[in-house]
């Protein structure tokens, strides 16, 4: 059954979220130094009361099933919610579903022991703890087989040595989930394990933090270049079993990618709203911009880009709810992931263009959105890799043609059609 309607009760929740995000959450980005810097007194004063309102409304951490204290709304409802939260960089935190914590919580819930869950999962879900996913290395990003950061067992402890690159939010994190080589003799995809590393473990240092291009002062970014120098963690801190890091990572990244896409719909919609507002406000050559056909084209193309993408995201979310198996929707998620940077980039660029010189300034959000689009084309795997994944999924289902020509070869199809209808043709005539 196909249905494009939101049930009225949930729509009331979404309407509440929309007003709450615009009025209460969006202003925070202009006063808080960083969404995750909970040591800041302003954060302490402003964020927990909003989180409490979300809890009371029953919308806290809705990506979680009831077994983990969430309402178990599923991915389609989460998509509709995330479309609204995507307007603000702080909103996901206020609703308890921010990256990378939501993905990290997912793998702790899936693979964690009772001890891991008590120590890390519960505080993460309650918003009392932040986490970081530490996988990429300076010498290996797209291809984790190149990773060298390694851990060796010494008695009942793992000793980790090496470097990681772009470990986002490490400076705010209490827990680092590190993907390290533990079994170098195994086949390539079974050489690594996920280790749970407390962020204050001796020997773990941030070499420096980097940010997006010109949008931040040097050293003020949130993506850490990390060094592990004889960092010791208990032998039991392996998540998901020794040599299973690839399997664990895929569980995490599948959800993470589609959640980014849901929020991207919100960001792109925000850009379109601003473009529309500008088009019906600004006059040039005696008429509104909205009267110019080339501006109308930008508006129309943006709506088409956005709605096509949104439907793909929603259908993928629906498939995840239906099959509960990320592997089965891997191609769909890769398609969404590959489409996402282009959609946001195109819509934000057009919105910038329609705003003229104002659009390029830091007084409008477009440059930040464009930087985000570029970020989305890299983080969680570059676009090229996702296109390859999708293409391989499709090609693996394709059947080779039986002979020299493709099965769609028109002369062969004509011959087959003539054979099929030979009797009718004989009765009624025809070439």
Binding residues for ligand FAD (CB under 6 A) = 100, 133-136, 141-142, 166-168, 223, 375, 378-382, 384-385, 388
Give min distance, CB of 31 to ligand FAD, in A: 24
- Pick the closer one to ligand FAD by CB: 388 or 425: 388
d(CA 112, CA 124): 13
- Pick the closer one to ligand FAD by CB: 109 or 194: 194
- Pick the closer one to ligand FAD by CB: 232 or 387: 387
The 3-state DSSP class for residue 100 equals coil
Maximum Cα–Cα distance for the chain, whole Å?
Answer: 90
By Cβ distance, which residue is nearest to ligand FAD? Answer: 141
Give min distance, CB of 41 to ligand FAD, in A: 27
d(CA 198, CA 234): 11
- Pick the closer one to ligand FAD by CB: 177 or 272: 177
- Pick the closer one to ligand FAD by CB: 337 or 355: 337
Give min distance, CB of 71 to ligand FAD, in A: 27
d(CA 270, CA 277): 11
- Distances, alpha carbon 362 to alpha carbons 87, 352, 367, in Å: 17, 11, 7
Q: Are 152 and 187 spatial neighbours (Cβ–Cβ below 8 Å)?
A: no
Give min distance, CB of 73 to ligand FAD, in A: 26
Give min distance, CB of 129 to ligand FAD, in A: 16
Per the structure block, which two tokens stand in for 188? 């390539």
Of 33, 360, 25, which is closest to residue 217 (Cα–Cα)? 33
Give min distance, CB of 330 to ligand FAD, in A: 15
Give min distance, CB of 226 to ligand FAD, in A: 10
- Pick the closer one to ligand FAD by CB: 322 or 392: 392
Give min distance, CB of 253 to ligand FAD, in A: 9
Give min distance, CB of 247 to ligand FAD, in A: 16
Per the structure block, which two tokens stand in for 48? 């927990």
- Pick the closer one to ligand FAD by CB: 257 or 355: 257
Burial level of 162, CB count in 10 A (0-12/13-18/19+)? Answer: buried
CA contacts within 13 A on the Cβ side of 75? 26
d(CA 125, CA 106): 10
Give min distance, CB of 375 to ligand FAD, in A: 4
Handedness of CA 206, 212, 216, 222 (dihedral sign): negative
Angle in degrees, CA 292, 294, 298, rounded to 5: 115
- Pick the closer one to ligand FAD by CB: 82 or 134: 134
Give min distance, CB of 204 to ligand FAD, in A: 15
Q: Are 191 and 157 spatial neighbours (Cβ–Cβ below 8 Å)?
A: no
- Pick the closer one to ligand FAD by CB: 75 or 168: 168
- Pick the closer one to ligand FAD by CB: 82 or 131: 131
403 Cβ contact list (under 8 Å, min separation 6):
none
Between the CA atoms of 119, 379, 143 and 130, what dihedral angle is there, to the nearest 10 degrees? -10
CA contacts within 13 A on the Cβ side of 363? 6
- Pick the closer one to ligand FAD by CB: 54 or 343: 343
CB atoms within 10 A of CB 7: 10
Angle, to 10 degrees, between the axis of helix 293-323 and the axis of helix 245-279? 150
347 Cβ contact list (under 8 Å, min separation 6):
268, 271, 272, 275, 302, 305, 306
């Amino acid at each position: 059954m196909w249905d494009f309607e939101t049930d009225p009760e949930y729509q009331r929740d979404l309407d509440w979220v929309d007003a709450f995000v615009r009025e209460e959450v969006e202003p925070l980005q202009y006063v808080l130094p960083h969404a995750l810097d909970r040591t800041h007194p302003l954060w302490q004063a402003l964020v927990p009361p909003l989180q409490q309102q979300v809890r009371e409304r029953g919308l806290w951490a809705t990506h979680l099933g009831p077994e983990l204290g969430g309402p178990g709304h599923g991915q389609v409802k989460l998509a509709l919610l995330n479309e609204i939260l995507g307007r603000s960089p702080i909103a996901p935190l206020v609703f308890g579903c921010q990256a990378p914590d939501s993905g990290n919580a997912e793998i702790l819930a899936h693979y964690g022991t009772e001890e891991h869950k008590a120590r890390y999962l519960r505080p993460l879900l309650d918003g009392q703890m932040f986490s970081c996913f530490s996988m990429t290395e300076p010498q290996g990003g797209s291809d984790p087989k190149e990773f060298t950061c390694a851990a060796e067992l010494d008695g009942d402890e793992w000793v980790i040595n090496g470097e990681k690159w772009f470990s986002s939010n490490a400076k705010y994190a209490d827990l680092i989930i590190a993907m390290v080589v533990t079994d170098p003799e195994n086949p390539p995809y079974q050489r690594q394990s996920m280790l749970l590393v407390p962020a204050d473990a001796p020997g773990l240092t941030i070499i420096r933090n980097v940010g997006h291009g010109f949008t931040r002062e040097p050293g003020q970014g949130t993506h850490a270049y990390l060094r592990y120098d004889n960092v010791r963690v208990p032998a039991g801190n392996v998540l998901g079993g020794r040599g299973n890091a690839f399997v664990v990572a895929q569980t995490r990244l599948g959800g993470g990618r589609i959640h980014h896409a849901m929020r991207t719909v919100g960001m792109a919609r925000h850009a379109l709203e601003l473009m529309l507002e500008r088009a019906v406000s600004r006059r040039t050559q005696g008429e509104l911009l909205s009267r110019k056909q080339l501006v109308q084209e930008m508006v129309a193309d943006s709506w088409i880009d956005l709605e096509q993408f949104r439907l793909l995201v929603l259908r993928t979310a629906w498939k995840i709810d239906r099959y509960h198996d990320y592997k089965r929707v891997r191609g769909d998620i890769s398609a969404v992931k590959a489409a996402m940077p282009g959609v946001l980039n195109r819509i934000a660029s057009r919105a910038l263009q329609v705003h003229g010189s104002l659009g390029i300034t830091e007084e409008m959000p477009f440059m930040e959105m464009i930087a985000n689009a570029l970020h989305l084309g890299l983080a969680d795997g570059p676009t090229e890799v996702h296109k390859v994944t999708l293409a391989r999924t499709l090609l693996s289902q394709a059947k080779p043609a039986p002979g020299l020509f493709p099965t769609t070869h028109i002369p062969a199809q004509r011959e087959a059609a003539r054979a099929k209808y030979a009797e009718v043709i004989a009765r009624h005539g025809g070439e």
